[in-house]
């Protein structure tokens, strides 16, 4: 494939390694998830007009 063909392609050219499936339902960074959840609890969203 040439660069021109890659730029015109509508499909991704990245291949995902199937070995990553073992991480699908695990939390890799529990402290960061906890911190993000605390921030979301205190977040104030703008009101829709």
pLDDT of residue 31: 97
Distance, CA of 46 to CA of 29 (rounded, Å)? 29
Query: For the chain, what's the residue count?
Result: 49
pLDDT in tens, the chain (49 residues): 788 887 888 877 788 889 999 999 999 999 999 999 999 999 888 888 7
Beta strands in 2-48 (DSSP E): none
Show the tokens assigned to 14: 């990245």
Distance, CA of 45 to CA of 49 (rounded, Å)? 12
Query: Domain residues of the chain, as ranges?
Result: 16-43
Distance, CA of 17 to CA of 20 (rounded, Å)? 6
């Amino acid at each position: 494939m040439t660069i021109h063909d890659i730029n015109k392609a509508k499909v991704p050219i990245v291949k995902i390694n199937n070995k990553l499936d073992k991480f699908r339902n695990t939390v890799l960074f529990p402290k960061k998830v906890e911190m993000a959840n605390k921030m979301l609890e205190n977040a104030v969203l703008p009101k829709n007009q």
